[in-house]
Structure 1
Amino acid sequence: MVAVLERWADEHGLSHDRDTFGNLRIRKPASPGHERAPGVILQGHLDMVAQANADHPHDFTRDPIETYVAEGWLRACQTTLGADNGLGVAAALAILGDESLTHGPLEALFTLEEESSMGGALNLAEDWLEGSILLNLDSEDRGQVYIGCAGGADVVVEAQLPTSALNDDEQTWQLSLTGLVGGHSGIDIHKGRGNANRLLVRALRTLEGAGARLIDYHGGTLRNALPREAFASLALPVDEVGPVQARLEALEQELRVELSGVDEKLTLRLTPCASRADEALTEAASQLLVNALHAAPCGVERMSVEVSGVVETSNNLGVVSLENGRFRLCALVRSLRDSATADIADRFTALFSLIGARTRVENAYPGWTPNPESELLARFRRLHRQRLGSDPEVKVIHAGLECGILGGKYPHLEMISFGPQIRGAHSPDERVEIESVAEFWQLLRVLIEDLANDQAA
């Protein structure tokens, strides 16, 4: 993708360079007479979350995203769309390519690995960017502007657990939990949606006393997406299969009632495996692992007192796996307070030490402290009223915008974040409202012109 954009820059006569991590910058000189206007940085990330429904074969390294329009929304066929953050990248390119636009010095910064680790922002070169104003184009709500965001960290838990051979009276079964909506682990965490790992572990808890032993487990694919599906292979005594089936059927109905209006399409199934496994966790190890996962922090931990309606601290049990006795968990903790992030990570350490697991914290990034008195924010609000006839909502988001990291490296930057209406990000339900894209483009364009005209020498 970087190479594609470099060729595009060459075709448009624009200079470009990369930092040592590979982040790309494309520059465009100011319009004549506006050279002394404040430099504006248009910022977005190049990667997308690659999610497809389990029954839809799709190779993201080769297959194109198939799109269609329904009721004014652009959608993809059973995969993520890539509007997060493809629309921000496209908007920056459109600004750079607009020869009718009056502007000050422009830089377009395209970062890498935002979805997987924030690696692009964390490793961004210092003393590289020249602008004083940064417009982050990675927000997903029409009529809103963001001035702050949560920080976060990955919590990784690993352990090698004891196994033993299957007994003659044990059969191999697969327990699956599917049909959940999923979504973004930050902005959707408070909506009451099911977490497949949390719910499948709950199902496994109901099997305690039946002698069930875990063979393997695979739940979730990304730590920043709410898990939609989870699968576990079990060794079950033959005479326990009937009672276990009945227990699971009752639990499925309970869960559908609990998640009514949100995730009532949940499906819980126990089916025989095609082949018999050789080993499973010992019964004691299996119980300890299930108990620890059942007790692990998950979901909203605390709502903010200072910012009404905003989640302060949360955790997502994003990816859980077990294979040949090797257990691994990757959770994503988010908080407006770095101390709360550290506390949740410490709770994981304390909990999983009870089963002999090792815990480490990776990819920690700071939050973005709001500045409600920002001159840039006042300018955006004025233009929003003039163009759209309404005041934008000023928001703080419970998600990891790169602004917090970028502000740490470039403390002088004045920043806001805004974008079109995107729903279902990080899931195959991702969609963007077409009308909101035109509105987003109009605001972005007039803001850049206003900055150039107000402050040009």
Structure 2
Amino acid sequence: MSELSQLSPQPLWDIFAKICSIPHPSYHEEQLAEHILSWAKEKGLHVERDLVGNILIRKPATAGMENRKAVVLQAHLDMVPQKNNDTVHDFTKDPIQPYIDGEWVKARGTTLGADNGIGMASALAVLADETVAHGPLEVLLTMTEEAGMDGAFGLQAGWLQADILINTDSEEEGEIYMGCAGGIDFISTLPLQREAVPAGYETYKLTIKGLKGGHSGAEIHLGLGNANKLLARFLFAHAAELDARLIDLNGGTLRNAIPREGSAIVAVPADKAAQFKDLAAKFLSILQNELGAVEKNTTVLVEATTTDKAALTAKSRDAFINLLNAMPNGVIRNSDAVKGVVETSLNVGVVSMTDESAEIICLIRSLIDSGKDYVVGMLEALGQLAGAQSVAKGSYPGWQPDADSPVMGLVRETYQKLFNKTPNIMVIHAGLECGLFKKPYPEMDMVSIGPTITGPHSPDEQVHIASVGQYWILLTELLKAIPAK
């Protein structure tokens, strides 16, 4: 038995513990999907999959509630795979190791997968718990949300029978979400020229690590450090004066996670090695001064290394460093329509290098399509100046807020009645699948709720235990209160 079994509501936490035990990073959800299919069949529930792998489970209404509007509870199957650099973990094979730390559940050295495992567990717990009263019920579990919303893109009209969709992917108890940002991936590919490292050079690995990282939408306004941008900043300032030869640079692992660490392989003349180390130490002091309020554990390391690879020519080095350093990152504009919410942002998420080219992958988010277009245009212009090839792809729409949504009003009313306080009605600067669901199901009334999760998309991810209990009470009371057709 998992130690989570001592928590309440027990059925939800037991199911979440089981989800943690089955590897399910993006593109590797099949083992978990098969488990859920078998689980649903054992319970005598109707279950099926569509062409893209989404799972749909149906449960008849509780006796006497057959005339209520049908509801679909929705979550996604995959989780973001992020780990600390000193953690040995294969997300495709190893289970997540959750543990209780005071008021929170965390994972040992990795993301927890509470995003969206708690939502998934709550939907399955509703199916399993015969004491929960509800009308006609569906549970929709979508594929590969975190890496491109593949399941939501593939959802076909006519498959769902519900009138109301409750998305379980929000991350703040006491907030009801009625809208979200859309997004688009942007990839810059810069051709590189290389030459042999001159004689008399020493090779070092420059690493920036210890940054918090996190969700590139929900936490983009916090001013966190981006390892890719910090590496570019250092190299732009000092590569020429050191006569440094750049051999390699890699940072970040996911476009939707703020990069926590990155490293560059650099060769410098032996007589400038001490200066290089001194500049790196000074850069750490600068970062501690600038970012110390939000980044407590920033580290800048210089370690001697060896490599047989050739270095970039000075022209290629400068083109690449200039491009990466000039790329905007973070909040571009705050919303006028929704106070306190970011309108448009981007995350310089992944930088990698081969012998022939460097690739920079960004995720752009905006509440409005023109905001996405504006940032795409900026990045295309930079690419043209640097001689890079640019591709924008995987665009997905935002979820337009509906102030007159009946289900949103019902959630607000139910929350107020249960907890004697008014919830916040919010728009989130992150991608929820609701915007995509509106295309095949334009008339469906949608709302998003969830417990408090902090640090999603990073190894600091944790879920607040008490908020899960409150979320469960809200969800089950909401199902009971759904009106007749």
Question: TM-score with structure 2 length normalisation?
Answer: 0.92
The amino acid of 2:264's aligned partner reads A
1:63 is the counterpart of 2:101: no
In structure 2, what is the equivalent of residue 111 of structure 1? 142
In structure 2, what is the equivalent of residue 368 of structure 1? 399
1:276 and 1:363 map into 2 onto residues whose CA distance is 36
In structure 1, what is the equivalent of residue 118 of structure 2? 87
Q: Give 1:354 deviation, angstroms.
A: 2.2
Q: Deviations over 1:264-302 (max 9, x none)?
A: 3211122111x2333011011101110111110100000
In structure 2, what is the equivalent of residue 231 of structure 1? 263
Q: Give 1:375 deviation, angstroms.
A: 1.2
1:445 and 1:264 map into 2 onto residues whose CA distance is 40
- Secondary structure of 2:379's counterpart equals helix
Q: 1:34 aligns with which of 48, 51, 65?
A: 65
Question: TM-score with structure 1 length normalisation?
Answer: 0.97
Q: 2:243 aligns with which of 211, 224, 243?
A: 211
- Secondary structure of 1:408's counterpart equals coil
Q: Give 1:435 deviation, angstroms.
A: 0.6
Indicate if the aligned counterparts of 1:215 and 1:323 stay in contact, CA closer than 8 A.
no
In structure 1, what is the equivalent of residue 20 of structure 2? none
How is 1:8-407 mapped onto 2 (pairs within 5 angstroms)? 8-209=39-240, 210-273=242-305, 275-407=306-438
Q: Give 1:216 deviation, angstroms.
A: 1.1
In structure 2, what is the equivalent of residue 455 of structure 1? 484
In structure 1, what is the equivalent of residue 7 of structure 2? none
1:68 and 1:278 map into 2 onto residues whose CA distance is 43
- Secondary structure of 1:308's counterpart equals coil
2:194 and 2:386 map into 1 onto residues whose CA distance is 14
The amino acid of 2:271's aligned partner reads D
1:312 and 1:386 map into 2 onto residues whose CA distance is 32
How is 1:417-456 mapped onto 2 (pairs within 5 angstroms)? 417-451=448-482, 454-455=483-484
The amino acid of 1:227's aligned partner reads P
Structure 2, unmatched stretches of 5+, are 1-31
Q: Give 1:409 deviation, angstroms.
A: 2.2
1:161 and 1:355 map into 2 onto residues whose CA distance is 11
1:445 and 1:39 map into 2 onto residues whose CA distance is 14
- Secondary structure of 1:43's counterpart equals strand
Q: Give 1:332 deviation, angstroms.
A: 0.3
Q: Deviations over 1:78-108 (max 9, x none)?
A: 1110100000100000111121222111110
Q: Deviations over 1:202-224 (max 9, x none)?
A: 11112232211221111000000
Q: Give 1:70 deviation, angstroms.
A: 1.2
Q: Give 1:112 deviation, angstroms.
A: 0.6
- Secondary structure of 2:239's counterpart equals coil
Q: Give 1:388 deviation, angstroms.
A: 0.7
Indicate if the aligned counterparts of 1:134 and 1:415 stay in contact, CA closer than 8 A.
yes
Q: Deviations over 1:303-355 (max 9, x none)?
A: 01111110000000000011213211110000011111022112111111223
Q: Deviations over 1:171-190 (max 9, x none)?
A: 22111000101110001000
1:117 and 1:379 map into 2 onto residues whose CA distance is 31
The amino acid of 2:263's aligned partner reads F
The amino acid of 1:175's aligned partner reads L
Q: Deviations over 1:30-69 (max 9, x none)?
A: 2233223111010000000111100111111222211211
1:384 and 1:253 map into 2 onto residues whose CA distance is 47
Indicate if the aligned counterparts of 1:217 and 1:323 stay in contact, CA closer than 8 A.
no
Q: Give 1:118 deviation, angstroms.
A: 1.0
Q: Which runs of 4+ in 1 moved over 6 A?
A: none
Q: Give 1:419 deviation, angstroms.
A: 0.3
Q: Give 1:76 deviation, angstroms.
A: 0.6
The amino acid of 1:156's aligned partner reads I
Indicate if the aligned counterparts of 1:20 and 1:125 stay in contact, CA closer than 8 A.
no
The amino acid of 2:291's aligned partner reads L
Higher relative contact order (CA 8 A, sep 6+): 1
Structure 1, unmatched stretches of 5+, are none
